[in-house]
Structure 1
Amino acid sequence: MKNIATIVLALAAGTSLTACSTLRGGAIGAAGGAGVAAATGGSVERGAAVGGVGGAVVGTVADD
């Protein structure tokens, strides 16, 4: 049972590196999008959503 748990944890750790870049990019993009939208008088929610999607894509692509 411990061997299976070790293998699962090793696989999760290996795949989480890409996920970490995706999440980090999404968070930075969402913050930037919300900030720009707030500064320009636009919809903060829409700015955060668009920035988050764009940041997640860039984080995933840049990680590869």
Structure 2
Amino acid sequence: MRIQLAFNYNRAIVYAQSNNIDLVLQDLQTAINLDAEYRQRTKTDVVFDSIRNNAQFQILIHQK
């Protein structure tokens, strides 16, 4: 499971660098569903700065 978590999170990073917001959100949602700690990590990871103001991204990182 740890490998899958890292895979989803790291792939979201790659998608963020290519500005593919839909796939970023999809992989982040998967990672967060598997381990809620990724929500906190996502809130501060500078790689997501380019999409930080996206409404769907904000919903994702602030969900409970």
Same fold (TM over 0.5): no
* TM-score, with structure 1 as normaliser: 0.33
Richer in helix (by share): 1
- Greater relative CO (CA pairs within 8 A, separation 6+): 1
